[in-house]
Structures are given as C-alpha cells and as structure tokens.
A and B are shown apart, each in its own frame.
Chain A
Amino acid sequence: MEAIDQIFRTIGLWFSNFLLNTLGLPVEVAGPVGILVQALVVCTFAAVTFLALTYTERKVIARVQDRIGPNRVGPYGLLQPLADAIKMFTKEQTMPEVADKMVFQLAPLLAAIPSLMLFAVIPYGEGMVASNLDVGLIYIIAIGSFAEIAILMGGWSSRNKYSLLGAMRAVAQMISYEIPMVLSFMGIILMTGSLRLNDIVVAQLVPFLLLQPIAFFIFLITAAAETGRSPFDIIEAESELLAGYHTEYAGMQFGLFQMGEFLGFYAQSAVLATLFFGGWRGPEFLPSWLWFWLKTWIGVFIFQWAFRTTFPRLRIDQLQAFCWKFLVPVSLLNVFVTAILVKFVPIVEIANGVVTGPLSKGIGGWLMTIAIYLAANALMVLLVAVLYRGEVRRTVSQFEARVDSGVSPAPTPAPKVTDREAVSA
C-alpha cells in the first residue's frame, strides 16, 4: 500500500537520480531540468483532464436533458474530445478587420496559461505537491483572477458590441464575487493558521465541510460565479449575447479560452476538495492521490450538474445585489463568528508538522467540536433568516407592484400538458 501511495514520488526520485547519476549532470543543471519536467508532467495531466472535462460536461448535460450526448466517435463517444481537437487545429481562425490585433491574439494565451499555473500548489496526494508554497491560497486567488484580464482583453479587442458587453458583465461579476470567496477562506485560515494548502489538509482530521458549512456554500456559489457557470452565465448568455467575450474567436484560439474556463473550474473543484472534503485524506484502502482525485471529481460533478443544467439565468442587477447585499455581509458574519469560536474551541495547533488540539483527541473530541461548530452555524443561519425577512418581503411586494402597474407581465400559469402531448407538439 505504502508503495502504491508513494508511487509518483518514487518515480520523481528515480528521475532526479537518473539525471544526477546515470547522465552525470551537475546539480545546477539537474535541478532546473528536474522541476521543469515535473511541471510539464503536471501541466500535461491538466491538459488531458481538460479533454476529459469537455467529454463529461457534454455527457452530463445530455443526460440531464434526456439526451444521449456524444456517442459516434469511438466507444461511448470517448474519442469525441480528440475529434474536437483535430477540428480546432484545422479550422480557419478569423479575426475582425477592425480588431486590436495584438491584444486579440494575446488574450486566449493569457486565459489559458494561468489556469495551468494554478495546478502548481495543489496537493495531489501525501507529499505530492509541486510547489509547497507558504502563501498557497493567496496564490490561487491571485492567479485565478488573471482570467478577468484575459476576458476583458478578448472582449474589448474584438470590437464587437456583444463581446464588449459580455466582457464588461464578466469583469463586474467576477470582481464582485471575489470578495465573498476570499472571505469564505478566512474561516479555514483562522482554524488552521496556515495558507499552505498541504498544512490545511494535514490539519483536516475531519472534513472542514462539517465545521464550516456556510463557508462551503458561499465558496461553491462564488466559484460558480467566478467561472461563469449558470445561474451566473450572463457572461456568455447565448440567447442575448451570442457567445459573449469569445464571439469573434474561432478554432484553436477559442479552444484556449475554453481550456482556461474548464481548467478554472477544475482547479476550483480541487480547491474545494482540498479545503472542505479533506484533500488527500481518506481510509487506507485507497492511495491518497486516488482519494484526492475522486473528491475533485465530486466537485466537478457538482459544477457540471448543479451549476450548468439546474438553475435559470439571473439578471446582472440581481447577481450584484445577491453578492453585495447577501453574500458579503454573511461571509463577514461567518469570519467574525469563526474567530470567536476558534478562541474558545481551537481546532488545531500545528507545531513542526504535528497536529495537536481537540480534533486529535479521538472520536469524542471530534463529535464535540463538530457539534459546537454546527450549532454556531445553525444560529448564524437563523440570524440571517431573521435579518433578511424584511428584504425578501420588500422584493416580493416590489415585484407585485410592478405586475400591477403592467410594467412586466404577470406570470401566466403554464397550461397543463401531459408528457405525451408535449412530445407530439
């Protein structure tokens, strides 16, 4: 078991040994070559994951919509991503005559490169982290928000009104939702006292989902908004904006934008698994990297099912109001309550990699801590429900007033149609 768990580290050690001893390279050369090869391997893994994501995304959406999805190329349509790749390679790349050509060409690259760089700090398994950065979480936030610049560059340089509208909406939405996202990490940082993702996993004797459920839901919502998935997909609302910021892009340039977007939400799922599902921790019968991979794909499935096919699209004013008037105050409240809780029921104290604190004291300690944190979270939910009672009532009465004055039509009850009639119509 130990051997399988550490197989990737063993391969890495063997490779550096190969560079140093078999090839006889000096340390100054072997070191950089080693980490470059390591980075290339991780990036290739991410690129292959992108292909898998395009396939599962189409399959999941198809199944939710009662279709079969890609099933022509290869068994179960498994070779569809390869066919797509060949098509993208050989498709003509058009560019509007009036576009800002330099910026237009640069934008797809700038969208895709940061999305690959995100994978540098994620702990894939026990001891399997490419860069054990001490500011890992800040790095994730900082590099993740590069997407905004790329989207603005792409949308602005196309000189297309739809592109510009899509890009403007995208940036307004993404910068707004960044605030509650950053604040939702705060509770976990307070509990673990570290920004290093590996430390957070080490401290996670029980999944933090049980201790920080409110932060979990805030992160889930904001991650969907950051990657522009429905109900937050006004960025590329296809029924009104064609394709938003990438309307004018074709072929591989479009593919790179798509890669940035898909790997963006894959990285968000990986962060979700690291922060809330316990990262690579899991029962012994599976290697740690497999646990991490499975948990990440649970996150991916949530994004593909809930945040793609389930919710109808919102308007931008509703989105911004939801973020600033609900998510930001609630996440600030969560930070404050967690700070008080951590003072009285500290979760972990990590000293020299050894975890101490109530969580390390067996099942009794776990249950007590979980009970206290869940009770606090339930109280917060109650408080928020009371505070926002008036807001909900006001919104409803505003809507009714608008319906009465005839500004927006009253919702007509849908005619009752049986399934059979719907199909024949």
Chain B
Amino acid sequence: MSPYAVLAAFFFAALLLLLAPFVGSKLLSPKKPNPIKNSVYECGVETVGETWVQFKIQYYIYALVFVIFDVETVFLYPWAVAYNQLGFFALVEMGIFLVILLAGLFYAWRKGALEWF
C-alpha cells in the first residue's frame, strides 16, 4: 500500500473516532439555553464595543518575517537531504545563502521589525 493511502486512512479513522464523541455529546447533553447563558462571557460584565476590530500591526509584521524564513527553510530541506551526495561546493553555496538570510534578519532587527511597540 502506498504510504499516502495510509495517511488517508488515518484521516478517516480520526474523523470517525472524533465524530462519535462530537455527535454523541450533542445528543446526550442537556439543552437549556437562555439569553444570559448565551451572551459572551467577559467576566460577567456586559461586553462593550465591537470585538472584530483591526488588530495590532505587530502581529502582521511577524507574520511577514515568518513567511520569508519559512520559504527559506523550504529551500534548505532538499539541500540537507541531498547533502551527502553533493560536493564541497554545496556547503559554500548554502553558506552564502545563510549569510544573505542572516543579513536580512539583522536588517529587520535594526529596522525595528522585531520590536514590540
């Protein structure tokens, strides 16, 4: 069997195993809703203002830096797997790549993208 078929089997098995308590608890649990119970719980105080607001920009900047480094690691993985078959040049090449990335990290650092305001 292809290993990917096993992964599909695991997806269905997990779904089956989790749908049982999910649906079962829906059937077994009592349902006595009332307006106060169904309000948003914020320490018993009525909620003020809109919740879905624009959020702090810092989260977005971290996400941007993350995308850059995530793509970088995607490049590094095939290099690491094939490393034993590659010559000395692969080491030099990846060294240059890593230095460029580190330079990028230090640029972001100096620019204050990694600071939390």
Query: Are A133 and B3 touching (Cβ within 8 A)?
Result: yes
24 A-B pairs with CB atoms under 8 Å apart are A35-B5, A43-B10, A43-B17, A89-B25, A94-B33, A96-B38, A98-B40, A113-B15, A117-B10, A120-B7, A131-B6, A132-B3, A160-B41, A161-B51, A171-B59, A172-B58, A172-B62, A190-B80, A193-B80, A195-B77, A259-B18, A320-B62, A325-B114, A335-B80
* B contacts, CB < 8 Å to A: 1, 3-7, 9-19, 21-22, 24-26, 28-33, 35, 37-43, 47, 51-52, 55-56, 58-59, 62-63, 65-66, 69-70, 73, 76-77, 80-85, 88, 91, 94-95, 98, 101-102, 105, 109, 114-116
Contact of B29 among A89, A316, A342 (CB under 8 A): A89
Q: In the complex, how many residues of chain A place their beta carbon closer than 8 angstroms to a beta carbon of chain B?
A: 85
| In the bound complex, CA of A161 to CA of B40 (Å) | 9
**Closest A residue by C-beta to B67:** A175
B62 x A175 contact (CB < 8 A)? yes
Complex contact B95–A336 (CB within 8 A): yes
Q: Which residues of B contact A175 (CB under 8 A)?
A: 62-63, 66
* Sample of 8 more A-B contacts, CB < 8 Å, known A91-B25, A108-B22: A42-B10, A116-B17, A160-B42, A247-B41, A252-B26, A252-B29, A259-B18, A332-B98
Q: How far is the CB of B37 from chain A (nearest CB, A)?
A: 6
With known contacts A93-B29, A131-B3, A349-B84, A248–B13 Cβ distance under 8 A: no
Residues of chain A with a CB closer than 8 A to B16's CB: 40
Does A392 sit within 8 A of B, measured CB to CB?
no
Instruction: Please give me the residue from chain B that is nearest to A336 by CB atom.
Output: B98
Contact B114 A179 (CB under 8 A): no
> Contact: A116 with B42, CB < 8 Å?
no
Partner of A343, one of B5, B65, B91: B91
Are B22 and A93 in touch, CB under 8 angstroms?
no
Query: Is B91 touching A340 in the complex (CB atoms < 8 A)?
Result: yes
CA of A97 to CA of B33, assembled, Å: 10
Tell me whether A358 is interfacial, beta carbon within 8 Å.
Answer: no
